[in-house]
Amino acid sequence: MAEASDFELLQDYTGRKSEEAFGALVKRHLNLVYSVALSRVRDEAAAKDIAQIVFTVLAEKAGRLSEKVVLSGWLFQVTAHACQDFKRSEARRKKWESEAMQQDAREKGPEGFELRDVARLISSALGDLGTAERDAILLRFFDGHDFRQVGERLGVSEAAAKMRVSRGLEKLRRLLEKRGVTVSEAALSGALPLIMQPAPAGVAAAIQAGAMAQAGMSASNAAVLKGVLKTMAWTKVKTGVVSAILAAAVITPFVVRHEAQARVREQDLTARGQAEQLAAAKAENERLANLAANSELSKEQARDLATLRRETASLQKQTADVPQLQAENRRLKAALNKPRTPLQIAEDGRTKAGYGKNWVIAFYKYAEKHGDEFPTNFDMASAFRARMSGQETNVSPDQFEIVYQGKLGAITNRSQVIVLREREAWQTPANGNRPAKWAKVYSFADGHSEIHSELENNFDDYEQKHIIPAEGQ
């Protein structure tokens, strides 16, 4: 007897309140939820609490999930929301510990990462992927499906599923590279299953019981649950509004450079994918043609053969364009490797300044909802900030750090108090009698950003005048 699908189990649970159906869902997806939570909060007890919250959300929302929803992807997003709210509630108590761990990770560098560090970074990077690529990767590496099963679940062909997973891995690899971890696509494929952490024995039964009856939930977990449900609802309604407010900050030349990089990678993938699809189509074509020659072809197989021949002809025509694609790739790569001009460097600086300004706007919105308190990390304010193509993939929160953590109302001179600063300085070129300098982007409490430069790579004097020391310093 075939194993019931996630949707069938959801229907069984919502229709008959079947504990067995809900228990099967918990058993099937608990390790994914627990692993994502553990990678983000790095505490086993907290990961168990978050898993309890996530499956409680599933119990409440089960009747609203359509058959098209990939449950692994949906649970991943709910877990990310729950971790975000959990960390928000713990931010004050764990602030110094968290900063110490982050500093330690930066000092160790990629070679010093342990498995838990890699798991945290992969989990974070997965959250930045698009839904299509993330669902494909979760189905392939976390649910353990082969490409045919992934394609069936996503409603695409096996070849398309393979392409989507490959594209997702490449995007995930680039996101990790921006977080300081350089890894090949093959190594990443091998690492993904290894970060799955089995939930401790007995947790599944406790979570099933707790999710179906919330009476035993602690007050702190109940508060996080309420926050997750509220965040999910707010995100669904408000994303379009925030996008409209912040969309104007993209710097055109910077986006053009990003699009050129994307075209290089996309054309590489296109050429590779077309070759693979053509080889598979030819093999199937030959198999059906042999059957036809031996008069063993049914009417349905004959229709498939005709369709396949049309697809093969189309693929052959597309594959004929591969040399032109490769030539275009070489041209774009040569253009990208040219030294940066002073104008391009200045434009990049302005783009980063706009990026920092948008985060400060998000911090304002966060403070409005949280007792005038600024967030202590970027994840806490991410729901209040729109994602912008181009800028989003070229400038990341890892390039900045939050230097003011307190109440907005406590700042008396907002135009003089730095909220965000760029972590690493960059050099501006010499121009005539003007020497080369070091520069950093700073974003202030009134919402404006500045590019400040020094002759030496030392910004201590400037920062001491504009940064309010945190409590205890």
3-state secondary structure of 422: strand
Question: Domain residues for 332?
Answer: 255-336
| Average model confidence (pLDDT) across the chain | 74
Q: What is the Cα–Cα distance from 91 to 94, expressed in whole angstroms?
A: 5
Question: In percent, how much of the chain has pLDDT > 70?
Answer: 61
- What confidence score (pLDDT) does residue 337 get? 59
- Place 422 in a pLDDT band, splitting at 50, 70 and 90: very high
> Both 414 and 461 in a single domain?
yes
Answer yes or no: is 249 within a domain: no
> Both 43 and 112 in a single domain?
yes
> Both 183 and 117 in a single domain?
yes
- What confidence score (pLDDT) does residue 138 get? 87
Answer yes or no: is 248 within a domain: no
> Both 348 and 320 in a single domain?
no
Question: In percent, how much of the chain has pLDDT > 90?
Answer: 12
Residues 117-146: what's their mean pLDDT?
Answer: 82
**What is the per-residue DSSP string for 16-56?**
H--HHHHHHHHHHHHHHHHHHHHHHH--HHHHHHHHHHHHH
Q: What is the Cα–Cα distance from 74 to 81, expressed in whole angstroms?
A: 11
Phi-psi category of 468—alpha, beta or left, where left has phi over 0 and alpha has psi -120 to 50? beta
> Both 292 and 331 in a single domain?
yes
- Place 433 in a pLDDT band, splitting at 50, 70 and 90: confident
Which is more confident, 247 or 463? Answer: 463
Which of 101-105, 153-157, 166-170, 193-197 is predicted with the least confidence, judged by mean pLDDT? 101-105
For residue 322, give the DSSP letter.
Answer: H
Which of 25-34, 152-161, 192-201, 407-416 is predicted with the least confidence, judged by mean pLDDT? 192-201
Phi-psi category of 109—alpha, beta or left, where left has phi over 0 and alpha has psi -120 to 50? left
Q: Give the tokens for residue 161.
A: 């599923």
Q: Which residues is 453 bridged to in the sheet?
A: 439
Q: Identify the H or E element spanning 420.
A: strand 418-422
Nearest by Cα to 351 from 257, 223, 285, 433:
257
> Both 414 and 326 in a single domain?
no
- Place 451 in a pLDDT band, splitting at 50, 70 and 90: very high
Residues 247-273: what's their mean pLDDT?
Answer: 46
Answer yes or no: is 471 within a domain: no
For residue 198, give the DSSP letter.
Answer: P
Exposure on the CB side of residue 108, measured as CA atoms within 13 A: 14
> Both 226 and 212 in a single domain?
yes
Q: Give the tokens for residue 15.
A: 């229709």
* Statement: residue 7 has pLDDT above 70: yes
Answer yes or no: is 175 within a domain: yes
* Statement: residue 319 has pLDDT above 80: no
- What confidence score (pLDDT) does residue 97 get? 53
Q: How many separate domains does the chain show?
A: 3
Q: What is the Cα–Cα distance from 88 to 194, expressed in whole angstroms?
A: 28
3-state secondary structure of 181: coil
Answer yes or no: is 436 within a domain: yes
> Both 29 and 13 in a single domain?
yes
Say how many C-beta atoms besides its own lie within 10 A of residue 113's C-beta.
16
- What confidence score (pLDDT) does residue 213 get? 55
Answer yes or no: is 50 within a domain: yes
Exposure on the CB side of residue 145, measured as CA atoms within 13 A: 23
Among 192, 213, 242, residue at a domain's last position = 242
> Both 228 and 310 in a single domain?
no
Answer yes or no: is 115 within a domain: yes
Among 242, 265, 297, residue at a domain's last position = 242
State the pTM of this model.
0.37
- Place 238 in a pLDDT band, splitting at 50, 70 and 90: very low
> Both 144 and 82 in a single domain?
yes
The answer to whether the beta carbons of residues 397 and 179 sit under 8 Å apart is no
3-state secondary structure of 443: strand
Q: What is the Cα–Cα distance from 41 to 85, expressed in whole angstroms?
A: 11
Q: What is the Cα–Cα distance from 337 to 352, expressed in whole angstroms?
A: 21
> Both 234 and 331 in a single domain?
no
Q: Give the tokens for residue 305.
A: 């053969």
Residues 121-126: what's their mean pLDDT?
Answer: 80
Among 336, 364, 395, residue at a domain's last position = 336
Which of 6-20, 277-291, 393-407, 420-434 is predicted with the least confidence, judged by mean pLDDT? 277-291
Q: Give the tokens for residue 232.
A: 């999910």
Residues 382-410: what's their mean pLDDT?
Answer: 76
Q: What is the Cα–Cα distance from 95 to 7, expressed in whole angstroms?
A: 41
> Both 178 and 272 in a single domain?
no
Which of 82-86, 217-221, 290-294, 316-320 is predicted with the least confidence, judged by mean pLDDT? 217-221
Q: What is the Cα–Cα distance from 225 to 186, expressed in whole angstroms?
A: 38
Which of 46-55, 318-327, 427-436 is predicted with the least confidence, judged by mean pLDDT? 318-327
For residue 109, give the DSSP letter.
Answer: -
Answer yes or no: is 472 within a domain: no
